[in-house]
Homo-oligomer: A and B are copies of this chain.
Amino acid sequence: MLIPIQQVAKQIGISVRTLRYYDQIGLLPTMAKTEGGHRLYTEEDLKKLQQILFLKEMGFRLDDIKQMLQKQDWNWASSLKSQLAYVQKEQERLRSMELSLRELISGVAVDGAENVVALQKLIRLSGQDKAKQIAFKSALLNDKELDLWQRLPHMNAADPHSMEWIALLAQVKQVMVEGTSSPKVQSIIRRMCEKMDEQFGDEPEFLDKLWELRKSPASSEQLGFYPIEQNVIAFLDEAFAFYDANTTAVQRKGEAAP
């Protein structure tokens, strides 16, 4: 009925070192020993060990587990609930980490991975006080526009729309040198216009307003837009203008249809 340490380790799936450590800190002291001093474990010990491992998986610290199993009048409800609260907080933290990571990944995709530029931008973005952003937004936009705001892609690589925008932006940067009228550029611009139409075709004034805000670096930063270099923005503006001028049925800005 007495089991040597290595069998216990194999059976339960932990290391011998761990068992010795648990003995050492008094978490699972070995009652039985051979004359030579080798540890021997009873069935009781195994049960207790399972409890310990279970509680460890719940995220409790060994010290707390020791107390829990020692004191027979331990307040389980209280410590379980506080542990639950802790676990929930951690989840929240990880969720925000995931969000930031996705933004960063998107940023790298746009700017190219060579330098730390994207990082710098994103740091400014994330360092921004969210409350301030919201206040600034509310001051600039009316209720309907705040509602439309939700339709904007949010630089989140999980959203396929965002992903395409990111890809398009990155492509523009690649072929900028060819000039606004180049077929490659104009093809990208056309796709961008299509996408804008898809999502905001019914609200052309909102689109214009957004684009004006985009052109102001200060506003863009305040609003938490992903920062695009000024020269890229200027290039896009020209390219859009060229596109409008050369499209027979001018429709994009809804200014006037022939």
Interface residues of A (CB under 8 A from B): 47, 50-51, 54-55, 57-59, 69, 72-73, 75-77, 80-81, 83-84, 87-88, 90-91, 94-95, 97-98, 100-102, 104-105, 108-109, 113-116, 118-120, 122-123, 126-127
A80 touching B98, Cβ below 8 Å? no
A80 touching B105, Cβ below 8 Å? yes
B80 touching A88, Cβ below 8 Å? no
Instruction: Known A57-B100, A97-B57; judge A120-B87 contact (CB<8 A).
Output: no
Q: Is the interface of A mostly helix, strand, loop or mixed?
A: helix
**11 residue pairs A–B, Cβ–Cβ below 8 Å:** A50-B123, A54-B122, A57-B100, A57-B126, A58-B100, A76-B104, A84-B98, A84-B101, A84-B102, A84-B105, A87-B98
Q: A112 to chain B: closest CB distance in Å? A: 10
| A-B contact sample (6 more), CB < 8 A, given A51-B120, A58-B104, A72-B115 | A54-B127, A55-B119, A57-B100, A80-B108, A84-B98, A84-B102
Q: A58 to chain B: closest CB distance in Å? A: 6
Q: A194 to chain B: closest CB distance in Å? A: 28
A91 touching B95, Cβ below 8 Å? yes
With A and B bound together, what is the CA distance between A120 and B48 in angstroms?
9
B77 touching A105, Cβ below 8 Å? yes
Q: A118 to chain B: closest CB distance in Å? A: 8
- The 3 nearest A-B residue pairs measured at CB: A54-B123, A84-B101, A76-B113
With a cutoff of 8 Å between Cβ atoms, the chain B residues found around residue A51 in the complex are: 116, 119-120, 123
Instruction: Known A54-B126, A58-B100; judge A77-B108 contact (CB<8 A).
Output: yes
With a cutoff of 8 Å between Cβ atoms, the chain B residues found around residue A77 in the complex are: 105, 108-109, 113
A58 touching B97, Cβ below 8 Å? yes
With a cutoff of 8 Å between Cβ atoms, the chain B residues found around residue A123 in the complex are: 50-51, 54
With a cutoff of 8 Å between Cβ atoms, the chain B residues found around residue A54 in the complex are: 119, 122-123, 126-127
Which of A50, A69, A97, A122 neighbours the largest number of chain B CB atoms within 10 Å of its CB?
A97
